Amino acid sequence: MSYDYDLFVIGGGSGGIAAARRATEYGAKVGLAEFDRLGGTCVNRGCIPKKLMVYGSHFPHWFEDAKDYGWSVGEATLDWTKMTKVVNGEVDRLNGVYQRMLDKADVTVYRGYAQFIDAHTLKIGEEKVTADKILIAVGGIPEKADVPGIEHAIISDAMFTLPQQPKRFVVLGGGYIGVEFGCILNALGSQVTQIIRRPYILRGFDHDIREHLQNSLIEQGVNVWGNTEITSIEKTKEGFKLTTTGDRAETITADVVLAATGRIPRLEKLGLENTSVEVNNGAIAVNDYSCTTVPNIFAVGDCTDRINLTPVAIQEGRAFADTEFGGKDRIMSHENVPSAVFTSPEAATVGFTEAEAKEQFGEDDIQIYRARFGSTYFSVTQRKEKAMLKLVVQKSSDRVLGAHMVGEAAAEIMQGVAIPIKMGATKADFDATVAIHPSVAEEFVTMR
* Active-site annotation, residues: 437
β-sheet bridge partners, residue 223: 193
Q: Which residues contact 16 (CB under 8 A, 6 or more apart)?
A: 9, 10, 32, 34, 40, 135, 137, 300, 301, 317
Ranges of H-type helices in 326-432 = 354-361, 410-423, 427-431
β-sheet bridge partners, residue 387: 373
Q: Is 182 left (phi over 0), alpha (psi -120 to 50) or beta?
A: alpha
Task: Report how far residue 133's alpha carbon sits from residue 29's, in angstroms, rounded to the nearest whole number.
Answer: 11
For residue 311, give the nearest of 7, 46, 36 by alpha carbon: 46
- Where do the domains of the chain lie, and which CATH numbers do they carry? 5-141+264-325 (3.50.50.60), 150-261 (3.50.50.60), 339-445 (3.30.390.30)
Q: What pTM, to 2 d.p., does this model score?
A: 0.96
Please give the full DSSP string across 64-102, using - where no structure is assigned.
HHHHHTT---------HHHHHHHHHHHHHHHHHHHHHHH
Q: What are the strands, taking DSSP E only, across 181-238?
A: 191-195, 223-225, 228-236
For residue 1, what pLDDT is reported? 79
β-sheet bridge partners, residue 34: 111
pLDDT in tens, the chain (448 residues): 799 999 999 999 999 999 999 999 999 999 999 999 999 999 998 999 999 999 999 999 999 999 999 999 999 999 999 999 999 999 999 999 999 999 999 999 999 999 999 999 999 999 999 999 999 999 999 999 999 999 999 999 999 999 999 999 999 999 999 999 999 999 999 999 999 999 999 999 999 999 999 999 999 999 999 999 999 999 999 999 999 999 999 999 999 999 999 999 999 999 999 999 999 999 999 999 999 999 999 999 999 999 999 999 999 999 999 999 999 999 999 999 999 999 999 999 999 999 999 999 999 999 999 999 999 999 999 999 999 999 999 999 999 999 999 999 999 999 999 999 999 999 999 999 999 999 999 999 999 9
Instruction: Tell me if the bond preceding 345 is cis, omega within 30° of 0.
Output: yes
- Contact call for residues 44 and 128 (beta carbons, < 8 A): no
**Kindly report the CA angle at 100 between 99 and 101, in degrees rounded to 5?**
90
Rounded to a whole number of angstroms, the CA Rg of the chain reads: 24
